[in-house]
Amino acid sequence: MNRSFKEALQHRRSYYALGSERLVGKGDIEEMVEFALMHVPSAFNSQSSRVVLLMDKAHRRFWQIVKDTLQARISADQFSKTEKKINQSFASGYGTLLFFEDRSVVQAMERKFPLYASSFFTWSQQTSAMHQLTLWCMLEDRGLGASLQHYNPLVDEAVRQEWNLPVQWELVAQMPFGYPLTMPMAKKIESVVERMRVFE
């Protein structure tokens, strides 16, 4: 659609009813991820963010891992509701982005810049958030619905083993995406009067 940056932010929403109809090919999604990894800023240019793209079979496998993990930890009644939500809102799409931060990079920056050592973890999380927002807007701009989920740290070890990921990669968030089947609910926006200050 090639919206402006402001338009992309304005239209970005959470979609909780996804279909598997493919609007955008795997190569195009890969290009989005590569673009974000190359151009989203990071503190001290640390480039600590890592992104795993799961499509089709791997996407469905991830959400099965989530369900298996939750089923072992919650009551049957709770799991029934959770399973329905996962099946209709997340697994029903055709891809998921997993956002990680590489702890080895963060720790190296702490050693290299000891004066700021206590801040690098926070900055790392901010870097991840910028990658999440960037890709969320890019997916939206291509007509895809997405949402941001946080089943970490419950699924971390199973995910690491399933795809043989480095132990230093720490899972931060998950973004399922697919064909939007319904429009998102109206978004309430609080007045900016109490959220903004201007001084001259």
Whole-model pTM: value is 0.95
Tens place of pLDDT for every residue, the chain, 200 residues? 577 888 888 889 999 999 999 989 999 999 999 999 999 999 999 999 999 999 999 999 999 999 999 999 999 999 999 999 999 999 999 999 999 999 999 999 999 999 999 999 999 999 999 999 999 999 999 999 999 999 999 999 999 999 999 999 999 999 999 999 998 888 889 999 989 999 99
For residues 142 and 144, what is the distance between their CA atoms, to the nearest angstrom? 6
Domain ranges of the chain: 5-194
101's tokens: 């931060």
Q: Distance of CA 194 to CAs 63, 187, 190, 191, Å?
A: 40, 18, 9, 7
Amino acid 152: pLDDT: 96
Amino acid 160: pLDDT: 98
Amino acid 179: pLDDT: 95
Instruction: Say yes or no: domain 5-194 is CATH 3.30.2420.10.
Output: no
Amino acid 53: pLDDT: 98
User: Which regions of the chain does DSSP assign to beta strands (E)?
Assistant: 18-19, 49-55, 95-102, 145-146, 169-180
Q: Distance of CA 145 to CAs 15, 19, 100, 130, Å?
A: 5, 9, 21, 18
Amino acid 1: pLDDT: 59
Task: Give the strand pairing for 145-146 and 49-55.
Answer: unpaired
